[in-house]
Amino acid sequence: ETGVTQTPRHLVMGMTNKKSLKCEQHLGHNAMYWYKQSAKKPLELMFVYNFKEQTENNSVPSRFSPECPNSSHLFLHLHTLQPEDSALYLCASSQDKLGGLAGELFFGEGSRLTVL
Amino acid sequence: AQKVTQAQTEISVVEKEDVTLDCVYETRDTTYYLFWYKQPPSGELVFLIRRNSFDEQNEISGRYSWNFQKSTSSFNFTITASQVVDSAVYFCALSGGGFGNEKLTFGTGTRLTIIP
């Protein structure tokens, strides 16, 4: 199995829908991340979980709600999104979030979200 | 505040040509890490290299080489004898030392197209 798996790969939803993105890592890592990738913008860090505890919420609107039930799974629950939320959402994992291994993230292939 | 600038939005070269991707960074940290990631069409970012701020030696890995110059705050990436498989978006990133992955700042990326 690939290291970091994201489902669904593509999602189209209306502004009133509720959906979830799922991420699973098979690398035995302890830290997981959600990033947002929009066209012509730098990757934006949204959330960080370390040992299932949320350690970073980068001023993300409450219509995005993360959930990390264990170190291998990460969800992003979506509700009442806006068209500007359309983007590629990337999940990543790392051994931990500490500086010694900083930057060596393992990414999934992303979930392409379109909000109509 | 940290900032990473990749001024080249898109580059196209003919196969077997050499190509250099530029990266300029800004940071107030005295200890920091610099990275390059590759994002192929499949979507996942792939870690290529990490360099810490105390190590200015250039690095070569096969057809890839990196030139780190603190004096100009640059960390450029050169692909020698380019191949079609090198076509991807390349991201430069910066992390403040000791702050871990939640402080990883990405550039906007350079889309590299290798023409057969």
What backbone phi and psi angles, to 5 degrees, belong to B29? -70, 145
Q: What percent of chain A has pLDDT over 90?
A: 64
Numbered residues of chain B with Cβ closer than 8 Å to any chain A Cβ: 4, 9, 33, 35, 42-47, 50, 91, 93, 95, 97-102, 104-109
Q: Is A105 an interface residue toward B (CB < 8 Å)? A: yes
- pLDDT digits over B51-104, tens only? 888 888 888 889 999 999 999 999 999 999 999 999 999 999 998 755 555 578
- Taking contacts as CB-CB distances below 8 angstroms, the residues of chain A near B107 are 42
Residue A77 pLDDT exceeds 50: yes
CA atoms in the 13 A half-sphere facing the CB of A22: 8
Instruction: Please indicate whether, in this complex, the C-beta atoms of B97 and A104 are within 8 angstroms of each other.
Output: no
Residue A51 pLDDT exceeds 90: no
CA distances from A103 to A13, A61, B50, B85 (A): 32, 25, 7, 24
- Taking contacts as CB-CB distances below 8 angstroms, the residues of chain B near A45 are 102, 104
**Contact call for residues A33 and A45 (beta carbons, < 8 A):** yes
Instruction: Please indicate whether, in this complex, the C-beta atoms of A103 and B106 are within 8 angstroms of each other.
Output: no
Distance CA B87, CA B76 (A): 17
